[in-house]
Structure 1
Amino acid sequence: MSESVFVGLCRTVGTSQQVATRRDVTDIKEMVRNRVTTSNENTVMMSGSHREGFRMEGSDIDTMYWYNNQPVIWDLSQTQFYNVHRQSLILSVSSESPPGFTLLQLLSPRASNRVILALVKMNGELYISSSKYREITCSLITPNSTVHGPCGSGAIGTLEYDDAQCFVCDFWPPSASSWIDRCHIWPQPQVVRDIVRSGCHFVAIGHKLGNYENDEWRISFSLAEQKLVYSMNHCQFLTYGLLKLFLKEVINNGLGDNEKLLCSYHMKTAVFWTIQQNTIPNWCPQNLLKCFWYCFKLILKWVYEGVCPNFFIPENNMFLSNIHGGAQNRLFITLYGFYEKGLASLLHSPSLGSYIMNVLYNPRLSICTDEHTLVSETEFDKEMFSEMWVRKSIPSSDLYLISMKYLDTIEQLIFSPLTQYQVLTLQVFTASILHSAAFTLQNMYSNTTENKLMYIADRTSCHMLKLTAKFGCISDRLYIAMFYYKTLRYTEALSVIEMTKVNLAQSYVMYNRTVDTERYTEAVGGQSWSTKLRHSVAWNIKLHNRIIYINELMTEQSFSLQNRFPHMVIPPLVVLHMLEFLC
């Protein structure tokens, strides 16, 4: 039965190759973006289940933002590592806070406006109030967000998001030093060193039972957790995924938001403790349900005792504020009911019940657990190219020089040790940056009276767009058609449009995860992903709303910008026929 659940989870959660692709694409985009970021700009880190590699229905997007020129230190001796004239230092004062929480005292006379507005005075010193900071920053990234925990939350279409404005610390918390000593078996020493070197963050929420709930900050180990999840083998990751599914589809099924006492963070914590304590010596597909059951029993034990120890600071009981008294008793009764049913409880999961039933009715059924046979080449390509399109936008539209900085960063990264997915992602990014830079440059010099400057700008823009057409996807060629139309070269524009029309009409072209699998396999099966991208992939046209592409779209872009959308997305055939008509 474990093998059947393994197959079901690989199809629901992803194979190891799919998960690796998702992580690699996200990692390289973040790396490029943050290398270009200056000290007075937000550093960005995607966290949570999406970053870990899950793409299950309902997975929200968790993102953390912070400024590197506002670091937190644990003691005053650490000021020696910073330029106090250029950075606003913040001191963590945790002596009066529950484990895992702290107050943040502003040490520097100067700070950002948002910090100054969030200051409160206690015992003659200035502290940053978490509740005030949360209210001030709630809608900074996405308009009309509402406060949810430490985040500004909302939904764009069907996609839910949580944006957390936080502070960063380059040093590992002294209160988590015992975690380092516990790491005898897992994670590996190099992972431990990497985690400790990466420090931690502080998110704007206090402990409900603390003395300073409105002003305290929670120590966040999101980056450490991400590195731990990355270090799991695939069976461990699938066990984590199975617990998340069981929580969502069985334990919390039918409950209102206020009634859900357990969350996926508790599931993750249980997996961490189970791996580290070496409860299960062999994490493999054949033992998957055994691994799940050990983790479930650990959660049951925690609920019975009313204690869920934080993985990094065990003194921080994560059940303290909401799982106690009558609520704890009701939750235990519910979980114990599932415990008595045993693994048959998984039959209640819509995602996996059919796989288990199949085995129960066909006990002699032979199941192949080779991941490479579970997802076809075409299905894998669909997800990979879709993942790259979602992540391909980099904020390079404000200035031509910023675009050049991105290109310079990508050039440096090419010589770094990269995975094959990351190399392809850089190719996609480069095409996106080039067409943004080309139109930005053209707009800069469109009204100049200097013919030589206009000629150089035009020639450079054309060269960039031709490069985009060479190694971008099929629909990227429409950017050069737009450029030709904008610069009154209608014959050249129509020539590009005709060629693109022929390419888009091919039955093997993949668009929005839709493709004729048989034709696709015949045309590009077994070829490099770079070749597939150039000859058989089409994406929606994504236009930066701060760049003028053609005058006819300015009204739509302006309206989109007023609604605080950075991009406008148009299907390629709509752009193609519009340009054809205009020409």
Structure 2
Amino acid sequence: MDSIRSSQITEGIQQILESVFVGLCRKVGTSQVVAMRRDVVDISYMVENQVRTSDEFSVMVSGSYGEGLRLKGSDIDNMFWLNNHRVIWDLSQSQYYNTQRQTLILCDCSASPPGFTLLNLLSPSMCREIQRACFRMNNRYCISSSKYRQSLSPDNRTHGPCASGAVGTLEYDHVHCFVSDFWPPSASPWIDRCHSWPQPHVVDDIVKNGCHFVAIGHKLGNHEDHEWRISFSRAEQKLVYVMNHCQFLTYGLLKLILTEIINNGVGDNDKLLCSYHMKTAVFWVIQQNTIPHWCSQNLLEGFSVCFKLILKWVYEGFCPNFFIPDNNMFLSKIHGIKQHQLYRRMSELYEKGLAFLLHSPSIRSCIIDVLYNPRNSICTDDHTLISEAEFDRNFFAEILHAYLPPGKLNIQSCIRYLPTIEQIIGSPLLTQYQVIMLQYSTARVLQYTAFILHMETYTHKSKLRYRADKMSCHMLKLAAKFGCITDMLYIAMYYYKTIRYMEAISTIHMIKVKLAQPYVMHWYNVDTEMYTEALGGQSWSTKMRQAVAWIFRLDNRIQYISELIPEQQSALQNHDHLLCIRPFILLYMLEILCCRHVDTMRAQTALDDLQTLVHYDQGQLIPLEFRDISWQILGICQQVTGNLQAALYSYQQSLRQEPINKIQTATEMRIQSLSMDSLE
């Protein structure tokens, strides 16, 4: 009897362990989903960096977003560095550079804590921000990290070395840094430490790619305002990439526990632990080979070892940097009474054992489901954890968010993208995800080029204007063949902009027919059964063209239609380059604007449909982040059709929404204009 009961207990625990694994796969991502995310982001940044010239800057996405995590509250960390500036560790390394073309910067670690350095300018720099940040120290020009950070991001809120902001609901941290092609001498012992992990070819690749320097000094250093922190972001990303999926899920679980339990309800200034500490613990545990075999069956064992290591660090007040262990990442943060309080709290959690995870909402739901349904079989096979429709929804969302708009908006800048994409797409090393990402990028570049070409030629002689117009129309139609359903809206906008109302109305009708299909993905809403029945097994190109109705993003630097210029200018003043609109909202707007010239009854019908949608939608077609611009567009349409009282109400409603699109200035301006008109 006892043996039966023991067997049942063991079986129950195993079910709970498997349920946690399945829950994490759904929350953090299956191995297939994580690989897709990385491929899409990698190819996006590869294109961006290859397009830039040698005197411009390079960019990479770092942190959890670049590693493949998409947890709630995570932001995008972008690192930027000048291509014609390089940091060296000793003067002998200057022989590898053409000093006529590249500005060299010399490290001086002699007076800085481990992991930090001063940067001395060896040759003149043409960068105004660097010139402003320089000061004399010991007969050398030193670049002040605090001055450099301030000169680059005077208007943004700062977070450590980063300038923080948001595009819609997506928050970002931008950090401007310098790059070195050489591995730091202080991190050389790390190379000898890599006996079992990572493998030698990974170590060689990491060392070959050097490091970065971010503009933040050590709080206890002698030169806090001037020091720079040595950053291993690129090396860390490569290490996360070579983790197996169980190790990656352990990292994700630690981040969830940090967010949902340890830092839950704690103000930003009082958070002692961060996700970087979690990642460092996973690195150390993997390298020390504490867990000989990482798999779904011992995921919680790996988590327990990592958590216990962090607990040890908190007790000792010492968290060793993975690459430079002498750099104690707790030194200026975790000490005194706060250290004791954190240790006591984490100890209490650790002593609860498996029950500790029940404090996490994300994990609790998975465990409770198993406890209430003990006979339910749990399949941990990667390919059965997520349906085809769910994967496609993730894939298309990833493509949309990963695309980087051109840095400079002119014909020359846009044209540089096309041969770059053509060259990359011929590579046999591309994954299927990256091919689709390049296809989507091509559509976006063609759309940018078409509208910029129109902007640059509409004042020219009629013959040149006619040729440019034909090219723009051709590019927009070609882009629609590469992109999704709603990319046809660019064609309708262009027809309206060039006073071809009947062509625009015809295009709008085609879009409506496509959007009415029951299998179409509207944002994250999709009928999975209808989608699978209609498009299961089809190529992603076909699915994207026939079934994806994603958000519509207008670059605020381009004037698409005159009716939205105030909104775009308002957003730009608030450092937001994109105006995010739901497709149905823009579709009705264009229909109203076109039909009021040729068919007033149809214009009124479209206005009634738009009003019904905005007033009564329950978040299905207009999620929270699109409510401000949706009310605004309804108001614009009511105003142009003469219903000024209704327009005023819609603008007031727009002001009451979450200011996601940053259009409040335009809304207030329109309200003021209506008020003045009523007085007259």
- Identify the TM-score tier after normalising by the shorter chain: over 0.9
Q: What is the correspondence of 1:342-361 to structure 2 with a 5 Å cutoff?
A: 342-360=353-371
Q: Deviations over 1:394-425 (max 9, x none)?
A: 22661112111111110011012111111111
Q: What is the correspondence of 1:78-93 to structure 2 with a 5 Å cutoff?
A: 78-93=93-108
Q: CA RMSD in A?
A: 1.8
Conserved in 2, the CA contact under 8 Å of 1:397 and 1:437? no
1:267 to 2:278 alignment: yes
Conserved in 2, the CA contact under 8 Å of 1:394 and 1:429? no
- Superposition deviation, residue 366 in structure 1: 3.2
Distance 1:248 1:570 in 2: 31
Match of 2:437 in 1: 425
Distance 2:269 2:562 in 1: 50
Conserved in 2, the CA contact under 8 Å of 1:13 and 1:241? yes
Conserved in 2, the CA contact under 8 Å of 1:76 and 1:91? yes
Unpaired runs of 5+ in structure 2? 1-15, 595-680
- Superposition deviation, residue 448 in structure 1: 1.5
* More displaced 10-residue stretch of structure 1: 273-282 or 374-383: 374-383
1:40 to 2:52 alignment: no
Conserved in 1, the CA contact under 8 Å of 2:216 and 2:227? yes
Match of 1:56 in 2: 71
Change (3 A) 1:161 1:361: same
Change (3 A) 1:562 1:254: closer
- Superposition deviation, residue 539 in structure 1: 2.3
Match of 2:160 in 1: 149
Q: What is the correspondence of 1:310-321 to structure 2 with a 5 Å cutoff?
A: 310-321=321-332
- Secondary structure at 2:324's aligned position in 1? coil
Percent sequence identity over matched residues?
65
Match of 1:108 in 2: 123
1:434 to 2:446 alignment: yes
Match of 1:130 in 2: 145
Conserved in 1, the CA contact under 8 Å of 2:167 and 2:577? no
1:241 to 2:256 alignment: no
Q: What is the correspondence of 1:527-538 to structure 2 with a 5 Å cutoff?
A: 527-538=538-549
Change (3 A) 1:326 1:475: same
Conserved in 2, the CA contact under 8 Å of 1:180 and 1:192? yes
Q: What is the correspondence of 1:176-191 to structure 2 with a 5 Å cutoff?
A: 176-191=187-202
Match of 1:369 in 2: 380
What amino acid is the match of 1:423?
V
Change (3 A) 1:488 1:135: closer
Give me the TM-score of the superposition, normalised by structure 2: 0.82
* More displaced 10-residue stretch of structure 1: 375-384 or 565-574: 565-574
Give me the TM-score of the superposition, normalised by structure 1: 0.95
1:398 to 2:409 alignment: yes
Q: Deviations over 1:59-98 (max 9, x none)?
A: 1221111111121111111111112122221101001111
Change (3 A) 1:407 1:186: same
* More displaced 10-residue stretch of structure 1: 107-116 or 364-373: 364-373
Distance 1:540 1:252 in 2: 33
> Of 96, 118, 134, which aligns to 2:133?
118
Change (3 A) 1:303 1:575: closer
* More displaced 10-residue stretch of structure 1: 336-345 or 234-243: 336-345
What amino acid is the match of 2:550?
W
Higher relative contact order (CA 8 A, sep 6+): 1
Higher helix share: 2
Q: Deviations over 1:537-578 (max 9, x none)?
A: 112332222323333433433333333332223322233223
Match of 1:250 in 2: 261
1:380 to 2:395 alignment: no
Match of 1:21 in 2: 36
Match of 2:579 in 1: 568
Conserved in 1, the CA contact under 8 Å of 2:56 and 2:84? no
Distance 2:503 2:305 in 1: 66
Q: Deviations over 1:179-222 (max 9, x none)?
A: 11111211122211111111110111111221111111110001
* More displaced 10-residue stretch of structure 1: 150-159 or 295-304: 150-159
What amino acid is the match of 2:124?
P
Change (3 A) 1:486 1:261: closer
- Superposition deviation, residue 364 in structure 1: 5.6
Distance 1:213 1:26 in 2: 34
Conserved in 1, the CA contact under 8 Å of 2:108 and 2:120? yes
Distance 1:445 1:253 in 2: 55
- Secondary structure at 1:64's aligned position in 2? strand
Change (3 A) 1:457 1:492: same
Conserved in 2, the CA contact under 8 Å of 1:101 and 1:216? yes
Conserved in 2, the CA contact under 8 Å of 1:204 and 1:216? yes
Match of 1:290 in 2: 301
- Point out the structure with max Rg over C-alpha: 2
Distance 1:316 1:557 in 2: 46
Distance 1:543 1:146 in 2: 25
Change (3 A) 1:473 1:335: same
1:550 to 2:558 alignment: no
Unpaired runs of 5+ in structure 1? none
Q: Paired residues, what number?
A: 578
Conserved in 2, the CA contact under 8 Å of 1:46 and 1:62? yes
Match of 1:323 in 2: 334
Match of 1:94 in 2: 109
